[in-house]
């Protein structure tokens, strides 16, 4: 299975997926850390994918959403955005509403 197919399968079979550097317990970059903290603050159940473990996924995820940076959040198969977008949506309450529906 190629990276694009693997990513599609992951984001469509899990309600909430965070592609990040590292994992929620040991994030490897500040933005990934922030993204995981925001989801934890929302009490979200999510699948975290460490892009540092798989070079194909690390490059493939940038093409999949046509978004150059990591972390990337997906809710119900839809690309939401990175850490800055997540923070803005969290502060407005929009993210909590989306997660509640997931």
Give the start-to-end residue ranges of the domains of the chain. 3-101
Report pLDDT digits (tens) over 41-86: 999 999 999 999 999 999 999 999 999 999 999 999 999 999 999 9
At the topology level of CATH, where does 3-101 sit? Glutaredoxin (3.40.30)
Percent of the chain residues topping a pLDDT of 90: 97
Report pLDDT digits (tens) over 5-37: 999 999 999 999 999 999 999 999 999 999 999
Beta-bridge partner residues of 55? none
Cα–Cα distance, 31 to 20 (Å, whole number): 8
What is the pTM assigned to this prediction? 0.96
Beta-bridge partner residues of 49? 19
Listing DSSP states for 52-81 in one string gives: GG-HHHHHHHHHHTT--SS-EEEETTEEEE
Question: At 43, is the secondary structure helix, strand, or coil?
Answer: coil
């Amino acid at each position: 299975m190629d990276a694009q197919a693997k990513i599609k399968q992951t984001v469509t079979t899990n309600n909430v997926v965070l592609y990040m550097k590292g994992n929620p317990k040991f994030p490897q970059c500040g933005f990934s850390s922030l993204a995981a903290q925001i989801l934890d603050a929302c009490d979200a159940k999510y699948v975290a994918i460490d892009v540092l473990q798989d070079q194909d996924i690390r490059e493939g995820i940038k093409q999949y959403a046509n978004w150059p940076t990591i972390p990337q959040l997906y809710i119900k198969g839809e690309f939401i955005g990175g850490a800055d977008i997540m923070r803005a949506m969290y502060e407005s309450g929009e993210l909590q509403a989306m997660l509640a529906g997931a």
